[in-house]
Chains A and B, each alone.
Chain A
Amino acid sequence: EVQLVESGGGSVQPGGSLRLSCAASGFSFSIYWMSWVRQAPGKGLEWVANIKQDGSDKNYLDSVKGRFTISRDNAKNSLFLQMNSLRVEDTAVYYCAKQRDPIATPLSIYNSWGQGTLVTVSS
């Protein structure tokens, strides 16, 4: 059974940093693009970033470029999101998501999601 378990969320002041982690199990982690998708409280879904199977290609939402860094450790079946210079508008539940099929393109659909970790940015 596929499992994605996020951790690392919490409360932080504007300008602060957090590092999110996603522990994956139940599938061959290294053959899938992986993504972070967020959802502000009471709002819709917003794709944030994704990373290629070997980590050689990364893509970001324009509003997080230069502030967030996605990475992965295939040996430990883990996905990460380093978030720096956090803003109030980054407040959201952050989901780790797995693409449905192990394809080469980052343009994916997601068939497995974690339960999410809440990031709150407030002074």
Chain B
Amino acid sequence: DIVMTQSPDSLAVSLGERATINCKSSQSVLYSSDNKNYLVWYQQKPGQPPKLLIYWASTRESGVPDRFSGSGSGTDFTLTISSLRAEDVAVYYCQQYYDAPLTFGGGTKVEIK
């Protein structure tokens, strides 16, 4: 199984400041035939199901604010919130869809400092 490791476990960021979350996979999730990274980011607010934010590592889902961006390739990925807003308080998960079984990172909790 591909192991997804997120860091940090939690972070506190001031409103308007940048938040950076890292995700590392135990093997590459870059598929050579299409040059796509099979990596997705979800946001989960308390008491709610996850919400799709970014797929193919860097493609923003429709309706997701552009302060959310994804980057990285191969085994190392980053989710960046460029200017944190109060409504961004949540747990963020990465997930690989390169190979079965689908696996998630352990989550990163983002709070307001």
Contact = CB atoms under 8 A, between A and B. Distances in A.
Contact of A44 (B40, B97, B102, B104): B104
A95 interface: yes
A95 B49 contact: yes
Given A100-B55, A107-B99, A109-B55, A47 B104 contact: yes
B50 A113 contact: yes
Contact of A47 (B44, B48, B61, B101): B101
Interface string A96-123: 0000100000111111011110000000
B39 to A, nearest CB: 9
A61 interface: yes
Q: How large is the interface on A (under 10, 10 to 19, 20 to 34, 35 or more residues)?
A: 10 to 19
A108 B107 CA distance: 19
Given A107-B38, A109-B40, A44 B107 contact: yes
A107 B106 contact: no
A47 B52 contact: no
Nearest to B93: A45
A47 B103 contact: yes
Contacts of A54: none
A116 B44 CA distance: 13
A117 to B, nearest CB: 11
B100 A111 contact: no
Contacts of B48: 115
A111 B38 CA distance: 15
A73 interface: no
13 contacts: A44-B93, A44-B104, A45-B42, A47-B102, A59-B101, A95-B49, A95-B50, A100-B55, A108-B102, A109-B40, A109-B95, A109-B97, A113-B51
- 10 nearest interchain CB pairs? A113-B49, A47-B102, A45-B104, A107-B97, A109-B40, A111-B52, A44-B107, A44-B106, A109-B55, A95-B49
Interface of A: 44-47, 59, 61-62, 95, 100, 106-111, 113-116
Interface of B: 38, 40, 42, 44, 48-52, 55, 61, 93, 95, 97-107
